[in-house]
Structure formats: structure tokens, C-alpha cells
Structure 1
């Protein structure tokens, strides 16, 4: 076994803890692997949510070997296409870990099985697919509702926030702008504004005074 410094041992142990936390967060869709690059022949130090069929003690991957050879190799490679041995499509991210001397000693890798999400996407696409036209135009939204929401979104964006995160004084300014623009005269305007801001209609009426 390769001799490790106290610093390297500590880093490896900390990376193992990070890997366990990530695995618990992203189970069961994301495989988390810790590679010990100080022992490339038995690099897989820990593996969680095992999707690839690998085991602890398996050798380093091509990325791991590249980092071992070149300390200047890219440290973070995010969202690159990959695949498991059975052909399943994977989105991977690999993060190289260096010690204080700038030497790669480990890699933390995340592999997301895309087939599950592709299945979800297919079902959602089928669910939202509209194939026929109604014999008469029908809408459940009040006329002008989109204009009101767009104006609110624009105002919130100018404040670098979201409509529901606006402060009370900002909501007051916004509602007065909506009133000045004539948007509060539209049918169900107060209800639409209240729903988009996440406040009561009574609050909107008070802002408009």
C-alpha cells in the first residue's frame, strides 16, 4: 500500500464523508465514487448508490490516470457524457483533490443515470401533448392576466429577486405602478396580483390606496 502523509490521510477521510453526504442527498439517481489516486491499481476507495456495478478496490479510470500523470490536468470536469457498462447514458462530474504540494491524491466523482429522467421526460411530454383543437376557443384565465404577471416579474427582476420575495415596501411601489398603468382595472386583477405575489387580496387593496 502506498505510504500516505497525515495530511493525505485526513483529506481522504474528509472526502469520504462528503461523498456519503452527497449520496444520501441524491439517492437513488446518482452514484458517488471516491477514487484514491495514490493507489491507482485499487483506486475505488468508496462507492455509494452503486449504479455502475464497480466495487471497492477497482482500478482508476482514464481521468484518474490522467490526473496522476499531470498535476496541471483540469481539476473540475462537470456534466460530461458517459455510459455504464450496460450502455445506460450517464451525466458525470469529476472533481480532482490535491494536497498542499499540488499533487492529485483523490477524485470525487458523481454519475447520474439519465435513463430514469429520460423516462420521466417521455411521460411528461406525452402528458402535456395537445393533439386536437376545441370547437370553440376556451380559456380559464382572465383577459390581461399574462400582462399583469409579466409586469410583476419585470419589476421583481429589476430588484434582483422574485415576486414572492419582494419586501412589503417594494410590493406597495409595484401595486401603485400597476394601478398607474391601468392594469388593476382588468377583471380579477387584485386576485391575480395577490396570487402571483403570494399575499392576500386585502394586502393588495391596502397597497393600492
Structure 2
């Protein structure tokens, strides 16, 4: 590691340390229905470095969610995602904001995420809407895996992509297989250490086959976007 790299790492550590009491202050201000989570994307398998409040069950040392993986996949092109709504695995309705953290070079290295449990508000809104005859509830919201281990998050993403395909891996054509690997890559799955092996095991294929499909999917993406390595 060069002296410049060491200086950047020290700067990033200082930013995370400075934001830890900010996370505590936000959660204390908005009460038990609010959670603030501080992520260090330099270690995606254990990205959670601070948690204040308890909405999603995150703990320090926990992994990033699919949302974090998406930010990681976009790299320095990532931007803040504000006021989006999702569901946890147990059905809790959560309104969230993800604000990316950048160092002095503009590189994204982490995020401050806010999660607010709005389940009770949604129930009251639905009741009032029904009483007022305002029609059916909005479409089902996506479920986000806020797991404390990265394996559960990777598995959830593989399952979600497979559910959009037809049949099992053996029934998929080459284009569909490449689409699956390309989709997982776009979501940042393969930025996680050991993810290729995990995806291979989940699909019931060899590690070599998984790397081959990933390589082909990336080559196809580079060709379609006009990128060259």
C-alpha cells in the first residue's frame, strides 16, 4: 500500500468516526421507529461499522444489503437514494434513504443509511383510504434482505433473479443464463469475496462454469455499451 493509499484510508476512517455520533443523534431525535446505519464499503462482508436504533435488526459487523451492493456496483457513479420504500423479510414496511460517503478524491467508500418503520402509518393510511373509498392499495413493494451475513443477501439476490427466469438452471438457454449472471453482476454481487463460488453452489454448477458465464456476461455488456478493456 502506497503512502497516498494509507492517507486516504486514514481520511476515510476519520469520516466514519465523525459520523458515528451523527447516527446516534439522528436515531435519538426520531425515536424507536428510526435506525441509522453506517457502512464501510471497503469490507462489504462486514460493512456495518455503527448502528443506532433497531428497525432492520442490523448489528455492527453485519453485511450490506442488496441496496448496498447496488451502490457498490455503481462505484463512484453512485448517487444518493432518498425516500424509497421497501419491506424487510418479516414484512415490516420501511422508508429509507441511502447517502453515499466520498473521500477527498470523490471516490465512494461507504454510506449512511436511515431506515424508518412506517408499518403503522401505512396501516392507518390503508384504513382511511378504505373508509374514503379511494380504491385498492398500491402494488406490492419489493423485499430487501437486511441480513447480518453476506451469504443470506447473495442467496436472496440469486433467488430473486431465478424467480424472474423460467424453470431451473438446466432449463435456461444460454441467453437467459448470461442474463442471470449479468443481472447479478449489475447488482454488485460479484464484488463480494467468494460470491462466485456461492452462486455456483446455489445454481448447482461448477465454479469454472460460473466464472465462464460471468466472463461472457461482462464481455457481452462491454460490447453492447461500446466499452473496451
Q: TM-score range by the shorter chain?
A: 0.5 to 0.7
Match of 2:109 among 96, 105, 108: 105
Once the two structures are superposed, residues 72-109 of structure 1 have per-residue CA deviations (whole angstroms, 9 ceiling, x without a partner) of 43321111121112011111110000101221111111
Question: Which structure is larger by alpha-carbon Rg, 1 or 2?
Answer: 1
| Unaligned ranges ≥5, structure 2 | 1-5, 133-229
Q: Deviations over 1:18-64 (max 9, x none)?
A: 11111111111111111111111101111111111221111112232
Equivalent position SS for 1:102:
coil
Determine if the alignment matches structure 1 residue 18 to structure 2 residue 22: yes
* 1:91-130 matched pairs, under 5 angstroms: 91-121=95-125
**Distance in 1 (alpha carbons) for counterparts of 2:130 and 2:75:** 48
Q: Deviations over 1:95-139 (max 9, x none)?
A: 0001012211111111111112234546778999xxxxxxxxxxx
Kindly indicate which of the two structures has a greater share of residues assigned to helix.
2
Tell whether the 8 Å contact from 2:39 to 2:47 is kept in structure 1 after alignment: yes
Which blocks of at least 5 consecutive residues in structure 1 are unaligned?
129-209
| Distance (Å, rounded) in 1 between the aligned partners of 2:74 and 2:31 | 33
Asked whether the 8 Å contact 1:52–1:85 carries over to 2, the reply is no
DSSP 3-state at the match of 1:110: strand
Structure 1 residue matching 2:75: 3-state secondary structure: coil
**Kindly tell me: are residues 3 and 65 of structure 1, through their superposed partners in 2, closer, same or farther at Cα, counting changes over 3 Å?**
farther
Provide the residue aligned with 1:83 in structure 2: 87
Q: Is the 8 A contact 1:32 1:49 kept in 2?
A: yes
1:60/1:3 CA distance change after superposition, 3 Å: farther
Per the TM alignment, residue 65 of structure 1 is displaced from its structure 2 partner at its CA by 2.4
Q: Which residue of 1 aligns with 2:49?
A: 45
Could you state the TM-score of these two structures normalised by the residue count of structure 2?
Answer: 0.49
Residue in structure 1 matched with residue 58 of structure 2 by the alignment: 54
TM-score (norm 1): 0.53
Asked if the contact 1:71–1:102 (Cα under 8 Å) also holds between the matched residues in 2, the reply is no
Cα-Cα RMSD:
2.7
